[in-house]
Every structure is written in structure tokens, then in C-alpha cells.
Amino acid sequence: MNDEELSFIRRQVKAAMPAFEDSGLRTDLWPRMLRRMEEPSPIFGWFESALVALIVMSFLSFPKLIPLMLYHL
């Protein structure tokens, strides 16, 4: 990738998607933060436990899946 190519792609992309000029926060999020902190934590249910067990067993059985999975994460 040379500078000219980078500049060309940047021009095309910026014409389609201008920079986000107004990135200032307009509201105080603290009240929402308080509500979030008061929400009960989700319970780690049987389905999640089974899913985790299945994934762990898959990794133990097929270790070659680990780098593949890490790549996609």
C-alpha cells in the first residue's frame, strides 16, 4: 500500500462517510449509570453453563480449533 493509494481510498471513503464532527456528549450519563448499577446481575443459568462446558470439551477434543477461534474473536 503506497501513500497515493491510501490517499485515494481515504478520499473515496471520506466522501461517502465524513468524519464525525460532533463527537461531544450532550447529556450527563450519570443517571443512566446509576440505573445500570442498580440492575440485578444476570444469573449464570444452566444453558450458559452447558454452552461453556461444550466449548471447553470441543477445545480439549480439537485443540486446533483454539487458534481458529482466537483469530475470529
15 touches other proteins (CB under 8 A) = yes
- Does the footprint of other proteins cover residue 43 (CB under 8 A)? no
Assess contact for 65 and 58: CB atoms under 8 A: yes
Least distance (Å) between residue 48 CB and other proteins: 17
Binding residue for other proteins, selected from 3, 19, 40, 42, defined by CB under 8 A: 19
Is 29 near other proteins (CB under 8 A)? yes
Among 4, 45, 47, 67, binds other proteins (CB under 8 A): 4
Joined together, the cell numbers standing for residue 48 give: 450458559
Nearest-angstrom CA–CA distance, 10 and 2: 12
Stretch that binds other proteins, among 14-22, 47-55, 62-70 (CB under 8 A): 14-22
Residues 30, 22, 8, 1, Cα dihedral to 10°:
-20
